[in-house]
Chains A and B, each alone.
Chain A
């Protein structure tokens, strides 16, 4: 018998319990439901869950834990049958089924919140595991401090992260340089100056930018922005011949980040109490003086948090750099040159033919872990700042 069949059977058993328990309780009081301690529905729910939950738990834990697949299905069914008998037997009129049902539902709710924790644990474990494998084959010092990246599937690769980190940071920096001022000014103008007509048009337009998938930005970089920058800037100015470049990816990523920065800073400006603005205007300050000298300084921690969140976004962005930045690992300052990033290399090392014994594949997990740690650090810090900032005005 297969595990999925036994799970289906357990579900059928729990449905049986769901139907039988209220019937038995009602029979014992000859159909007078007022004599029951709980609603008949609650009897059903309590019994059904009593059968369903333990069986599912065993199936899930056993299945994931690699428990013997020949015995496990029978254990699942045995548990379900025992639970069925016990729960129906328990369904006497004085049984407060509601309490049982509600504790079981609470358990389900708690288990659901556990999924988020499990996800994090899964992320960390999966990457840690393969990363340790990687460092058994490859010296960690070379990984973190070597400036050369040239994987070679016949062995003897150089897998230094520094050129990838450089590309990542360079592109993110350009993206932020573009997105932060534009996003901030757009948010300021829309919330403090714009009339309802402009707002009702510009706000949705900026929000649309936020809803566009990154693959679309990637194609935009590849087909439109890259060739444009090459033909009108890089080639005439003698900076190179490449359509994929740091600038291409950075600019397009900047466009992607505009709505992110502007909606975050919009929230943050809105948290600044109106009384502060009134105070400044009441002293005869102009709107811009009020914004620059009162609103922005008051909102500064929040804005810093928003910029850090945007930075973490930029560092973890994949499709735009896959399509716009290029694949060559390079330490260079020329923004018109193709460079590559951590995320691009994760994709290229893990797609196509992968061999989970070779360092060239496993390095992707080390890259992933590095990326995760960097973005996690930024996020925790940024969310902490933003939270503290919000509390200040609550």
Chain B
């Protein structure tokens, strides 16, 4: 259709070209967003896909005889004597128990007894031993235990290990997997939901099935406490000074530039600082939540200061004037009026800073938190002081597991990431709710 030359509806070549350019430009924008969202989706599915199974575990139900002759030679339940029986002693009991249980269920196999015993996790004897030591009265009876299955068996039921891969694997064999399948059909083996992953301590290289996050979560919790107790008051105090009291001069300019730079310093540099100052110079304990907390405090401080100053700035000057007008001192105006009004913003910023600190890995590697720790750290001990006992932390535990050879640890690391992300998610939700609840428009 053609329109008169000055009609609004006339579309000439130039307009067509310009509209095409507009469409193209929009397409770039949509592509960019699709790529970003897709990256998020792939990232999350890849982590969830390989990590969710960490919250399920395969167990063997085994009747184990606990003969007094073997477990307590004294016969009077003397703990010192009972302790002499090592996990190796228990391992043979478990092997015999498994063989008996199989026999009762009518399951036969060509495999050697030693290979059958490999179905049981190397962690299981220690678990049974601890149980017996804690409850000496069970000696002399036959008890039914749910024993951790070996990592490869666990992996078989989670789809990670196949008959083909087992054929090439020194730690298991297709026969072992077939046997496990038979046990499952007989109701003696089960893969089920299990929270031990969140509670148990780390386990050694050969035992991914037993490795848990207990120590790491505790360590992270301690560090977050240290960060909260130090970074919040120091951050708020210095923000109040800079925002409300500091004269505008070269010195405060310097502090200001300094803080925005600190916020952008690579986190690993804080690790070097922690190593040099807190460990080498002040001789605080390596791997301790105290040092980790101090390093993360210094790292989080700029974030908290920046967000606190923004919240203080958003309180209108008229509030300060009103307080000063009735004869309050500047200090009173700030502490009685400005600070409470800015509190929700400060809290939100603090939570976000804490979330950042919770996920931070690099600086903790340098202060020795990669160590293999199986003991739950105490918050206070006379030897090590407050938060001074060796510990690890959630993100570092993840890193640690990625460095292990056994592929079972990939599942553990991904499961740990899910745990970490859940914590971060909760923290962010709290921050968002705080902001919603107290949002104020002036």
Contact = CB atoms under 8 A, between A and B. Distances in A.
Q: Is A in direct contact with B (CB under 8 Å) within the complex?
A: yes
A216 B47 contact: yes
Contact of B360 (A213, A219, A375): A213
Given A202-B33, A215-B398, A120 B361 contact: no
A94 interface: no
Interface in A91-136: 98, 102, 105-106, 108-117, 119-120, 122-123, 126-127, 129-130
A188 interface: yes
Interface string B268-298: 1111110111001110000000000000001
Interface stretch (B37-45, B53-61, B317-325): B37-45
Contacts of B410: 223
Contact of B266 (A105, A184, A217, A343): A343
Given A112-B238, A211-B428, A212-B421, A126 B32 contact: no
A127 B302 contact: no
A4 B384 CA distance: 13
Interface in B399-438: 399, 402, 410, 413-414, 417, 420-421, 424, 428
Contact of A316 (B265, B302, B360): B265
Given A109-B238, A215-B399, A119 B301 contact: yes
A122 B262 CA distance: 12
Interface residues of A, number: 90
Given A186-B36, A219-B413, A116 B18 contact: no
Interface in A63-106: 64, 98, 102, 105-106
B277 A347 contact: no
Given A213-B360, A316-B269, A205 B47 contact: no
From B262, B268, B421, name the one whose CB has the most chain A CB atoms within 10 angstroms. B268
A185 B273 contact: no
Nearest to B234: A112
A130 B234 CA distance: 29
B242 interface: yes
B379 to A, nearest CB: 16
A385 interface: no
B273 A123 contact: yes
B331 A288 contact: no
A126 B414 contact: no
Interface stretch (B76-84, B150-158, B362-370): B362-370
Contacts of B420: 213, 215-216
A86 B217 CA distance: 48
Given A120-B262, A205-B36, A185 B329 contact: no
A353 to B, nearest CB: 11
Interface in A179-200: 181-186, 188-190, 193-194, 198
Interface stretch (A11-19, A51-59, A230-238, A363-371): A363-371
A356 B280 contact: yes
A379 B261 contact: yes
A255 interface: yes
A318 B362 contact: yes
Interface in B205-231: none
Interface residues of B, number: 85
B241 interface: yes
Nearest to B395: A215
The A interface, classified by DSSP as helix, strand, loop or mixed, is: helix
From A129, A312, A318, A376, name the one whose CB has the most chain B CB atoms within 10 angstroms. A318
A184 B414 CA distance: 31
A198 B265 CA distance: 34
A383 B306 CA distance: 14
Contacts of B30: 189
A235 to B, nearest CB: 20
B295 to A, nearest CB: 10
Contacts of A112: 233-235, 237-238, 241
A356 B281 CA distance: 12
A288 B26 CA distance: 8
A116 B259 contact: yes
A342 to B, nearest CB: 9
Nearest to B428: A211
A317 interface: yes
Given A108-B237, A185-B32, A209-B39, A286 B22 contact: yes
Interface in A221-279: 222-224, 255, 258-259, 262
Contact of A117 (B255, B331, B362, B399): B255
A122 B266 CA distance: 15
B143 interface: no
A347 B362 contact: yes
A312 to B, nearest CB: 6
Contact of B238 (A116, A208, A365): A116
B16 to A, nearest CB: 12
A116 B305 contact: yes
Contacts of B240: 109
A116 B29 contact: no
Contacts of B270: 123
B267 interface: yes
Contacts of A262: 36
Given A190-B29, A288-B22, A356-B280, 18 more contacts: A108-B237, A111-B237, A113-B242, A116-B301, A116-B302, A117-B255, A123-B272, A189-B33, A194-B33, A213-B359, A215-B361, A219-B402, A287-B25, A316-B267, A322-B362, A364-B272, A368-B269, A379-B265
Interface of B: 18-19, 21-22, 25-26, 28-33, 35-37, 39-40, 42-43, 46-47, 50, 233-235, 237-238, 240-242, 245-246, 254-255, 257-262, 264-273, 275-277, 280-282, 298, 301-302, 305, 329, 331, 355, 358-362, 365-366, 368, 370, 385, 395, 398-399, 402, 410, 413-414, 417, 420-421, 424, 428
23 contacts: A102-B329, A109-B237, A112-B235, A115-B238, A116-B262, A119-B301, A120-B261, A122-B273, A186-B32, A186-B36, A215-B420, A216-B47, A216-B398, A222-B402, A224-B43, A287-B22, A309-B264, A312-B266, A322-B362, A343-B362, A347-B366, A368-B268, A372-B269
